[in-house]
Chain A
C-alpha cells in the first residue's frame, strides 16, 4: 500500500520546516544579551535606608535626602575599576548641576573617602554600605550601577555599568527631563 502523495510531501517537508523555524528562533536568540537583567524594581518606591558617612565628619545619606527631586543614585566602590572609568562623566554631570548621590558599596568608609579625595567628589550626599544590605534591597549585582529616582521617590531606571556620554545623552538625560516636568 502506498502513501497518498500529499502525505508523502508533508512527511518530507515537515522536518525541514521544523528545522528552519528552530534555526530562525535560535538565530534571533543569539542577539539577546544574556547578561542583561531588567530590574524588577522599576516603578517601585526606593527602599528606606539610612547610611553612615563616607566623608570625614559628614552626615551620611538617607532616604529623606532624595525626596521631592529627580536624582541619580550611583553605586560605586574604591575597589571598582569600572567606577574609575565612569568617574570623569559623573564629575562633569555634577558640575552641570545634576544631583547625584553616592552609595559606597562593599567598601571600607576610609577607602571610599580616600578615593573621593584623590579623584574628586561628584556626590551631593554619599553613604557607606559596607555590609551590602542596601545593595541587596536595590537588587544591585555589581558596580557601577545608577538609579534614576523620580520626585515621589520611585525608581524609574537602572543603568548597569558605567554611564557613557551616549547613554547619558540618549537615555538618562531625556528621562530625567521628562520626570522633571512631572511625567
Chain B
C-alpha cells in the first residue's frame, strides 16, 4: 500500500459526500408512505413545519420524538385525503402559527414582511432629498467641507 495522504483525504471526502443525503433526512423508512407521490407531498409539508421542541429545525430534519409524531400525523392526514394546506392547518389549529417556519402574511406580521421595503423607501427618500438640495449633485469639495464645518 502506497497511498498519498491526499488520496486518502479525497476518498474520505467522497465518502462523506455520499453519506450527506442520508444525514439530511430524519424520516425513518418505517414512517414513509407506500405511495411515492404522497410521501413526496408529506416531506414537502414537513419541511415547512417547525419542530416545536427544537424550534429552529423543521420536523423533516429533527429526530426529536415529538417531530416524529408530527411527521406521522402529516402522513396520516395526507393519506386520508387532506390537501397540503389542510394538513398544515391541522397543526396550526393546535400549535398556532409558530409551527410554520414561514410566517403567514397577516395584520400582526405586516411589519415583518414589509419592514425591509419600508426602510428602503425611507433611505431612498432621504437620498432624493439630499440630492435635490444640491450638495451631492455639485460634488464641490469646498461646499462639502463648509457643510462639515457648519455642523
Q: Which residues of A contact B (CB under 8 A)?
A: 1-5, 7-8, 11-12, 14, 37-41, 106, 131-133, 135-139, 141-142
B61-88 with Cβ < 8 A to chain A: 65-66, 69-70, 73
Contact status B126-A39, CB under 8 Å? no
- Having A8-B151, A136-B69, one finds 16 other A-B pairs with CB under 8 Å, namely A1-B133, A1-B134, A1-B143, A2-B150, A3-B134, A3-B135, A37-B96, A37-B98, A40-B93, A41-B94, A106-B69, A132-B66, A133-B69, A136-B70, A136-B91, A136-B94
Contact status A2-B151, CB under 8 Å? no
Residues of B within 8 A of A135 (CB): 66, 69
- Expressed in whole angstroms, the Cα–Cα distance for A106 and B65 within the complex equals 9
What are 10 A-B contacts with C-beta separation under 8 Å? A1-B135, A2-B147, A37-B52, A41-B94, A106-B69, A132-B69, A133-B69, A136-B70, A136-B73, A136-B91
Q: Which residues of B contact A (CB under 8 A)?
A: 52-53, 65-66, 69-70, 73, 91-96, 98, 126, 129-130, 133-135, 138, 140, 143, 146-147, 150-151
Contact status B96-A40, CB under 8 Å? yes
Contact status A38-B70, CB under 8 Å? no
- Report the minimum CB–CB distance from B46 to chain A (whole Å): 14
- Expressed in whole angstroms, the Cα–Cα distance for A95 and B56 within the complex equals 41
Chain A interface, >50% SS class: loop
Residues of B within 8 A of A3 (CB): 133-135, 147
Residues of B within 8 A of A2 (CB): 135, 143, 146-147, 150
Q: Which of B69, B138, B146 has the most CB of A within 10 A?
A: B69
